[in-house]
Structure 1
């Protein structure tokens, strides 16, 4: 059985208008994707608001909760609050197409839209590149800066071929 089906938003049979769905996002959710996570212990909720129109669907997916990140400086785990929202327009066509940024086309015979990939991307894009624990003090940062290697950029004078230098002197005489 495809575990991603647990994240289907079934729209067939629903009246036009707004409909709410909610999904608990935990460790099992991320096993659906074959990537390595940069966090542990996700405790997230994805609230999906779908507005059904006659010819298209609008989705607002809000992800809230916490994950535990490893601090880049101290290697300690710390809770990181997440909250993000994305909006996607789903239209009907001949085949699945997600090549547009905010528009996804699904086959017109589909009766449900799977939100798993969007929820996954929403969470992954909310994780900061630089992970610094809020418990790091200014003193810790000063010590880190003091012992970090310093990059000195030295500009070297360009080495000029002596033959060109001799030609340049001849030119300057004229």
Structure 2
């Protein structure tokens, strides 16, 4: 029940607004991410600016979200903040019932008077997180990761030189003559 009340903080009441542009700002911090079950992003400090362009037949919500979210570094497994910069638009029409026919279009019931943007902002943030997130390198070019963890990882790194080269192994082993016959058939069929 408390989470539902907090979600209402992200309602945009459009009934009664004149046609034209209206600006809304939302500070998105850790309490915002707590609204979502099993969040892919749990911490962050972002500013979301939502411009509503209202007309008599439809509404356009333009989102701009900037800031940082906390995640785990892929290299050293410690916390790292990654930048987020997102711009996108949601178009809202009215119909008999709520529907999302595409990713950019939402249909609200005619009697609706607010539009909750929390879920949309969360999805926009999640898709904006880079696929690979690592600490930026230091000025001297060394990794900005946790040095203790990097040292531990180096202890467990496998030295590729310790494995025999597969080509060298095959030269010493005799090749089954049936493979040669199969290769001839494949080559014959490819001509």
What TM-score do the two structures reach when normalised by structure 1?
Answer: 0.77
Q: How does 1:43-58 map to 2 (within 5 A)?
A: 43-58=45-60
Q: What is aligned with 1:99?
A: 101
Q: Does 1:15 align with 2:18?
A: yes
Whole-angstrom distance in 1 between the partners of 2:60 and 2:177: 63
Whole-angstrom distance in 2 between the partners of 1:158 and 1:86: 60
Change (3 A) 1:15 1:147: same
Q: Does 1:78 align with 2:88?
A: no
Helix, strand or coil at the partner of 2:123: helix
Whole-angstrom distance in 2 between the partners of 1:4 and 1:158: 68
In structure 1, the gaps of 5 or more residues are 169-174
What TM-score do the two structures reach when normalised by structure 2?
Answer: 0.71
Give yes or no for contact 1:71–1:77 (8 Å, CA) kept in 2.
Answer: yes
Change (3 A) 1:72 1:109: same
Q: What is aligned with 1:172?
A: none
Q: 1 or 2, which has the higher helix percentage?
A: 2
In structure 2, the gaps of 5 or more residues are 144-150, 161-165, 186-191
Match of 1:113 among 109, 112, 115: 115
For the aligned residues, what is the CA RMSD?
A: 3.4
Moved over 4 A (4+): 136-140, 143-146, 154-161
Q: 1 or 2, which has the higher strand percentage?
A: 1
Change (3 A) 1:85 1:79: same
Q: What is aligned with 1:29?
A: 32
